Chain A
Amino acid sequence: MNFFLETLIGGLLAGTMYSLVAIGFVLIYKASGVFNFAQGAMLLFAALNCVSLQEAGLPFPAAVLASVSIMIVLALAIERAVLRPLVGRSQITLFMATLGLSFIIEGLAQGLMGAEVRALDLGIEDVPITIGDIMVSQFDLFAAATAGILVLVLALLFNKTRIGVSLRAVADDTRAALSIGINLNRIWQIVWAVAGIVGLVAGLLWGARQGVQFALSLVVLKALPVLIIGGFTSIGGAIAGGLIVGAAENLAEVYAGPLLGGGITPWFAYFLALAFLYVRPAGLFGERAIERV
């Protein structure tokens, strides 16, 4: 039983790491209807920036601040060069544009900052602590706490500020928002910048765990099922989805994995997502679209 509990808790904590990546997607999808495949590349770019600046001699907080500003510049550039010319196009077109974008960002990141693996030390020992009989990773706790703080900050941003209110207006009804004079381009810039910063946080946490390197951009694939389960439009959903995927994946690998020959994690999350889709086609917290002819 303890083993089950430990697996469950470990899985839930691992799930928050997925949620962190998923939140970046949700932000952009909510505001601009773009499924941003380049989120993984942005994550890599942000973390690489931060590590390179640190290597160049900047202290960690300064490196983070500098990376934040770089992500803001990147967001402005993306909005101007990619999103604005594609306004009004189908979602699939926008998705494919982000595929192209991910090529550009990956090329830039590696071209400017090199492809070697960089170590990133956030100063948190990744040693387990035991609570009762259950072993919990300190780092996972830290990551979960970070995710919690991030969600809190985002909630404040969206509910208490003017920007947040206009953003929700855009998400609810783009045309109505435009008609009352909300600057759509500005909203997109802000959202992409915020998503970039979320990417930075996720990139740093994932980077601390696996080293800052190209493979960071692959964590995107882990975030997709999380999105499906939680819905593309809800940050709460991203968190819930992450927890569900993390827990289910760990339990499945431990209990069902041996029966199936192991290594089932890459597709298990997707099948879980499919099962959810069948029951709730717009995710747990997503909004159901009504189609008109």
Chain B
Amino acid sequence: MRNILKRTVLAATLAAALMGTAPVTQAATNEQFIPLPTYRVGPYASSGIPWWAGVIDYLRYINEVEGGVDGVKLVWKECETEWSTDRIVECYERYKKGYNGAPTAFFFTHSTPASYALMDKGVADRIPLVDPAGGRTESTDGSVFPYAFPLLLNYYSQASVGINYIAQKEGGFEKLKGKKIVTVFHDSAYGRETQAPMELLAKKYGFENIQIPVADPGNEQSAQWRQVRQIKPDWVFLRTWGVSTPVGIKTAARFGIPVDRLIGDVWAGSEADVLPAGAAAKGYQALAPFPGGADFEIHRRLRKFILDAGKSDLKDPKFFGSVYYNIGLINAAMAVEALRTGHRKFGNRPLNGEEGGWAFEHLDISDARLKEIGFFGLLQKLKLSCNEHEGGGAARVQQWDGKKWVLVTDWVQADRKALRPLIDAKAAAYAREKNIKPRDCS
């Protein structure tokens, strides 16, 4: 036994050394490489599994049905990260130079902490870091952050969409005056990110802004919701993540807070968040830059060519059209559209990171284009530019009917004009701290 153990260890070390040292270099092919930092195990696996299935299904669809992006085939590799920042950084380092001669054009971090961690490296290596509906809010200012893209809906816009939706429900912004809006948030960088815009919006519209933190992991929240009940809020904005969302919804119900007064944020609005809460979640609403549902045009195509052909990465087809699956689809679609944008400038060939950065910065997806690719209603129209790295700033609102998400609004636009000065000030402070000379974006 001892010998076996010893030999295994020795063999393992040797093999690891060999594998690590042999760099795989082959002649460049007509392939675009896409690194995928996944999390299929660990605390967030329930989100990760359908997410990567969505990404991979769409990439397969592009490769097999459309023959690649303008003829360029997509190849990808996964690294399991369990959503831990250092392993995402490790994945980035492993694949930033591409794989087998196929270059890397962008890196989806899928994690706000990782977006922060990679911020400097992305600039140094010229690899665009994309983190839709997350990331570093001030990197919306592309003049200071040329290689970071908090696409779709940054955290400030999330707060703003939430308030705009509440105003819509109340019947106008003037009705917000004197209302009590409680934000129950996951006590982390992600959770605190909306404090500044909420303060600004509270001043602007005259509502009372109360912030209540829930410490990680958040599996016992009676103290917090007792406080919420004491406040008797008009609305509660739920900015939790992971297990703290279903526990939050359930505990709210226990304290008699009506569920239709809860508005979940993007990362508190998937099936995994409401299913465990059972009946208590019926009527819960959430912001949806990534709406749930399997009836969009793209789902029809995927069902025909991927799902029914047995090529789907989904083990359990009941997740087809779930929120996280759709997140995967939407992210993959934005990446593919960015590649197309790049091809128009650089020719139909694999792009490197610098070209990928240019491509994302010039991404322009119109409603007509959305209809063509089958994403109309699922993805908002996007237009990015040199100093505008968010591009959308809208979300739909969906409501849980006990079985599925039902979209209750069209796209609700964030008040980006009001928030932009806050973002610019933070970006400028960052530029000062890091001695960055902002690019000229005019």
Contact = CB atoms under 8 A, between A and B. Distances in A.
Interface of A: 3, 6-7, 10-11, 14, 17, 107, 110, 114-121, 125-128, 135, 137, 139, 206, 209-215, 218-219, 222, 249-250, 252-254, 257, 261-266
Interface string B222-262: 11101100100000000000110011001001111000000
B219 A219 contact: yes
Contacts of B250: 126, 209-210
Give the most central of B42, B49, B276, B319: most A CB within 10 Å: B276
Contacts of B90: none
Nearest to A250: B223
Contacts, number: 125
Contacts of B255: 128, 135
Given A116-B316, A210-B246, A7 B41 contact: no
Interface of B: 40-43, 45-46, 48-49, 187, 212-217, 219-220, 222-224, 226-227, 230, 242-243, 246-247, 250, 253-256, 272, 275-280, 315-316, 319
Give the most central of A114, A127, A128, A214: most B CB within 10 Å: A214
A55 to B, nearest CB: 11
A115 B215 contact: no
A116 B223 contact: no
Nearest to B275: A119
B234 to A, nearest CB: 20
Contacts of B214: 263
17 contacts: A11-B223, A115-B49, A116-B45, A116-B46, A116-B316, A117-B46, A126-B280, A128-B255, A139-B254, A211-B243, A213-B243, A214-B43, A214-B46, A218-B243, A222-B220, A257-B223, A261-B213
Give the most central of A115, A118, A128, A264: most B CB within 10 Å: A115
Contacts of A266: 215-216
Nearest to B186: A263
Contacts of A7: 223, 226
B219 A121 contact: no
Contacts of B280: 126
Nearest to B279: A125
Give the most central of A10, A126, A209, A257: most B CB within 10 Å: A209
A250 B226 CA distance: 9
A211 B213 contact: no
B217 A117 contact: no
Contacts of B213: 261-263
A115 B254 contact: no
B208 to A, nearest CB: 15
B253 A121 contact: no
A116 B272 contact: yes
A253 B71 CA distance: 59
Contact of A14 (B212, B220, B275): B220
